């Protein structure tokens, strides 16, 4: 049996692309009468996706941290006041907000039910490991990781009932880090949560997809530039004794230069999110990144750690 395993694995690898092509040739999903809940719609990808899905015909529940804020108000105006897009308060760190969101969805379900959950809400910051207090680590874990889990657990019964889709916003930063280890940590954790969930949900007909954008900081505004003065003022006395202000300035300049090189075309990522929700054969992972970013991920995934450490150390030294 085991002797035949390599041949069977090779056959499977050859047949899988053909099966995917056949399935993707099937009719795409009919959005009308299906509901989708999106978190983090105040700005960025969530805002763009809510508008796109609304235009496609979905019933959209757009979760916003500040439903009275400029982003949420603009979203309602851009949707044209149509009843198929509802803005609701949704802080994914608050269990009562998640419960209220579920109650609202249940009371306004369209005829075809609840189709999709998009866990998009997230925050980012810059800083070496010792620069950030424990409270910041706890906040990031609560928003980026536990927030997605909290919302997913609440809506799992509906997703199982309607055999829907769950989409998670990850990042290529799940594979490596360049000065934002706290963000990388949460994205690596959400990837593993999704891997477990994807396998467990197959028996219910629920599909789980991960979106892995590259650098889209200018498009999403998730990470504004940071000044060395801001960083320095937040450092503990112990850290100030170790790092000079000049070093902090160098690191801030380096990180800000990376941010400025990011793509402004957030529609590329939204295209992947829409495919994950509507394709008859969605991918488990959608990597939407520049070639050099994909190469970096490839090196990280396939080469020994010492090689990746050397590449990243060289980049940091420049």
What are the pLDDT digits (tens) for 10-41?
665 566 565 455 555 567 899 999 999 999 99
Q: What is the pLDDT of residue 85?
A: 96
Catalytic residue among 162, 183, 216, 286: 183
User: Residue range 297-301: average pLDDT?
Assistant: 90
Q: What is the pLDDT of residue 117?
A: 98
Q: What is the pTM of this model?
A: 0.89
Half-sphere exposure of 114 (CA within 13 A, CB side): 24
User: Residue range 259-280: average pLDDT?
Assistant: 95
Is the pLDDT higher at 269 or at 220? 269
| SS3 sequence of the chain | CHHHHHHHHHHHHHHHHHHHHHHHCCCCCCCCCCEEEECCCCCHHHHHHHHHHHHHCCEEEEEECCCCCHHHHHHHHHCCCCCCEEEEECCCCCHHHHHHHHHHHHHCCCCCCEEEEEECCCCCCCCCHHHCCHHHHHHHHHHHHHHHHHHHHHHHHHHHHHCCEEEEECCHHHCCCCCCHHHHHHHHHHHHHHHHHHHHHHHHCCEEEEEEECCCHHHHCCCCCCCHHHHHHHCCHHHHHHCCHHHHHHHHHHHHHHHHCCCCCCHHHHHHHHHHHHCCCCCCEEEECCHHHHHHHHHHHHCCHHHHHHHHHHHHHC
Is the pLDDT higher at 313 or at 207? 207
Contact 101, 90 (CB under 8 A): yes
* Span 204-228, pLDDT tens digits: 999 999 999 999 999 898 888 888 9
The question of whether 183 is a catalytic residue gets the answer yes
Contact 48, 267 (CB under 8 A): yes
User: Residue range 68-85: average pLDDT?
Assistant: 88
User: Residue range 5-14: average pLDDT?
Assistant: 58
Residue 278 has pLDDT above 90, yes or no: yes
Q: Which residue is it, tokens 């925050």?
A: 123
* Span 34-62, pLDDT tens digits: 999 999 999 999 999 999 999 999 999 99
Closest Cα to residue 195, out of 177, 175, 210? 210
- Measured at the CA of 163, the angle between CA 198 and CA 204, to 5 degrees, comes to 55
Closest Cα to residue 99, out of 32, 154, 181, 18? 154
Contact 159, 166 (CB under 8 A): yes
Contact 188, 144 (CB under 8 A): no
Name the percent of the chain lying above pLDDT 90: 75
CATH number of 28-224+264-317: 3.40.50.1000, 3.40.50.300, 3.30.1340.30, 3.40.50.720? 3.40.50.720
């Amino acid at each position: 049996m085991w002797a035949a395993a390599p041949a069977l694995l090779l056959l499977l690898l050859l047949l899988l692309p053909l099966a995917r092509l056949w399935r993707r040739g099937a009719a795409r999903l009919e959005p009308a009468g299906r509901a989708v809940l999106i978190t983090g719609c105040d700005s960025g990808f969530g805002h763009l996706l809510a508008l796109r899905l609304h235009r496609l015909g979905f019933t959209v529940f757009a979760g916003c941290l500040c439903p009275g804020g400029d982003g949420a108000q603009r979203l309602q105006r851009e949707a044209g006041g149509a009843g198929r897009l509802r803005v609701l308060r949704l802080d994914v760190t608050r269990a009562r907000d998640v419960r209220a969101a579920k109650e609202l969805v249940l009371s306004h379900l369209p005829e075809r039910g609840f189709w999709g959950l998009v866990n998009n809400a997230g925050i980012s910051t810059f800083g070496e490991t010792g620069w950030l207090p424990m409270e910041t680590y706890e906040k990031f874990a609560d928003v980026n990781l536990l927030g997605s889990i909290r919302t997913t657990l609440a809506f799992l019964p509906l997703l199982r009932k309607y055999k829907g889709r769950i989409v998670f916003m990850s990042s290529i930063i799940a594979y490596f880090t360049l000065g934002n280890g706290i963000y990388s940590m949460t994205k690596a954790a959400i990837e593993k949560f999704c891997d477990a969930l994807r396998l467990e949900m197959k028996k219910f007909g629920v599909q789980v997809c991960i979106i892995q954008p590259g650098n889209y900081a200018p498009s999403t505004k998730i990470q504004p530039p940071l000044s060395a003065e801001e960083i320095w003022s937040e450092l503990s006395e112990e850290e100030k004794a170790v790092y000079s202000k000049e070093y902090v300035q160098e690191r801030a300049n380096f990180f800000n230069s990376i941010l400025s090189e990011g793509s402004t075309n957030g529609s590329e990522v939204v295209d992947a999110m829409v495919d994950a929700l509507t394709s008859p054969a969605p991918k488990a992972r959608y990597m939407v990144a520049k070639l050099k970013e994909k190469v970096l991920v490839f090196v990280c995934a396939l080469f020994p750690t010492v090689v990746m450490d050397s590449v990243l150390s060289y980049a940091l030294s420049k």
